[in-house]
Chains A and B, each alone.
Chain A
Amino acid sequence: MNKNIFSNKKVLPALRIIMGGIFILASVDKILNPSMFAMILKEYKIIPDIFIPLVAITLPWVEFFIGVLMLANYFTQSSALVMIGLNIGYLIGIILNLIWGLVHDCGCFTIFGFNEPIGGFSIARNIIFILLCLPPLIYGTNEIKKKKLKRRQVLPS
């Protein structure tokens, strides 16, 4: 009863690869050009100016690390949790800016020079990302020692 389509052995890795890849792609350009990312963050007007450089430097690396961990199937649940948290943060930022009437570049995927304004599409995309992160959070694993222990148990016998 507990098992459904999302706990499937093929669906779950597929979701991990998709979300891991997306987060790595989203982070690369921001890592290389933190000044541009800082400018975009400044446009959102939700982070105090003093903290903008700190966020611009660290946030892309968080995206990168959780993307790599998700792909490698290490700490999947924790990575998924951070992904959901980030996406909720982005979602709140976008919605608040739209309410305030501030329409500007999303800054979501700048790696291919792709710049879209914040709007309905970016909101829908973030919601989809949150939904895609839920199966790895619920059915993924956060333990990396299990496999090794099993091998050790098998060897003596």
Chain B
Amino acid sequence: MKIEKIISIIFMSALIFGFACFFGLMFNIINPNSILLIPKKEIKKVETIKKPVPETKKPETKILPPVKETKPPVVEAKIPVTREVTLVEDNKIDLVQAKKYFYSGRTIFVDARPEYAYVERHIKGAVSLSASRFNLQFEMLKDKLKKDDLYVIYCSSPTCHLSDMVADNLNANGFKNVKVFTGGWDEWNSAGYPIDGLKVKKGTVPGE
């Protein structure tokens, strides 16, 4: 192949790519399911949730009070970032707290992992709201979920952030009582607490 031909192929590829991108952006304007190019709303949500926390109600802030007191005066230029971090930290719970909530019987556990993982194994009584198919699954479960209940979201491990995404989505839909179980499925399973699913042998000790 001649160099000129190769260059023309690459040039045409770039042209097709550019045209398709432009067409996509134009289509997004008329698409009924269009999305915002710049996600502005997320920052606003964080700010509105953050404000009442230090002033009025303390039960939510008991977990990490020193963090909130020290951070605002230190970093003033990066307000949205620090607020986002503290908000997430407020919602985090560990295995002991998760267990307490589980046995209280008034908490709904939400599995943020992909559906196939949920079907195989999950925390007993949990519902599936996977991060990637949240909208579809939420539509189906919307009527059954009450906004006043406490929701504990879990993912596979502490490094998995799908639970944060699902928690944000639930917050955006008006569910304010949402906690994130950081240890997630791995911690719960290795602790031997109740689990369920297709691959869980019935009548045996949970936790594999």
Check if A131 is an interface residue, CB within 8 A of chain B. no
* Bound form: Cα–Cα A61–B18 in Å: 10
Cβ of A104: which chain B residues have Cβ within 8 Å of it? 113-114, 131-132, 162
Cβ-neighbour of B16 out of A32, A53, A58, A79 (below 8 A): A79
In this complex, the member of B35, B114, B132, B165 whose beta carbon has the largest number of chain A beta carbons within 10 angstroms is: B132
A54, B24: Cα distance in complex, Å:
9
Do the beta carbons of B16 and A66 come within 8 Å of each other?
yes
A103 CB–B CB distance under 8 Å? yes
Considering only CB atoms, which chain B residue lies closest to A32 in the complex? Answer: B33
When distances are taken between beta carbons in the complex, the residues of chain A under 8 Å from B162 are 43, 104
Please tell me if B133 contacts chain A, counting CB pairs below 8 Å: yes
Mostly, the A contact residues are: helix
Q: Is A6 an interface residue (CB 8 A)?
A: no
Min CB distance A48 to B, Å, is: 12
Cβ contact of A49, chosen from B13, B39, B134, cutoff 8 A: B39
Q: Is the interface of B mostly helix, strand, loop or mixed?
A: helix
B13 touches A81 (CB 8 A): yes
* Complex interface: chain A residues within 8 A of B34 (CB): 34, 57
Interchain CB contact (< 8 A) of B20 among A32, A49, A65, A115: A65
Given A36-B135, A117-B116, A142-B12, are A105 and B130 neighbors across the interface (CB < 8 Å)?
yes
Within the complex, the shortest CB–CB distance from B190 to chain A, in Å, comes to 16
Contacts of A45 in B (CB 8 A): 161
Within 8 A of A (CB), among B109-138: 113-117, 130-136
Pair A105/B132 contact, Cβ less than 8 Å: yes
Q: Are B35 and A38 in contact (CB-based, < 8 A)?
A: yes
Instruction: Take A57-B25, A102-B160, A142-B8 as given contacts and tell me if A36 and B136 are in contact as well, using a CB distance cutoff of 8 Å.
Output: yes
For A41, the closest partner residue in chain B by CB is B132
Q: Is B103 at the interface (CB under 8 A from chain A)?
A: no
- Residue A56 is within 8 A (CB to CB) of chain B in the complex: yes
Which partner residue on chain B sits nearest A104 by CB separation? B114
Contact of B37 among A53, A77, A142 (CB under 8 A): A53
A75 within 8 A of B: yes
Q: Is the CB of A78 within 8 A of B132?
A: no
1/0 per residue, CB under 8 A from A, across B29-53: the answer is 0010111111100000000000000
CB-defined contacts of A107 to chain B, threshold 8 Å: 132
Contact in complex: A75, B16 (CB < 8 Å): yes
CA–CA, A52 to B71, complex, Å? Answer: 29
- Docked complex: A51-89 residues within 8 A CB-CB of B: 53-54, 56-62, 64-66, 69, 75, 77-79, 81-82, 85
Please, which residue of chain A has its CB at the minimum distance from the CB of B10? A81
Cα distance A66–B18 when bound, in Å? Answer: 12
Q: Of B16, B38, B113, B156, which is within 8 A of A82 by CB?
A: B16
Q: Which of B8, B21, B28, B114 contacts A105 (CB 8 A)?
A: B114
Apart from A43-B132, A56-B35, A105-B114, 5 more pairs, CB < 8 Å: A64-B20, A78-B9, A103-B114, A105-B115, A142-B5
Interchain residue pairs with CB less than 8 A apart (28): A32-B31, A34-B28, A35-B35, A36-B133, A36-B136, A39-B131, A39-B132, A39-B135, A40-B132, A42-B131, A43-B131, A53-B35, A53-B39, A57-B34, A57-B37, A58-B20, A61-B23, A61-B27, A65-B23, A69-B16, A81-B10, A81-B13, A82-B13, A82-B16, A102-B160, A104-B113, A104-B132, A142-B8
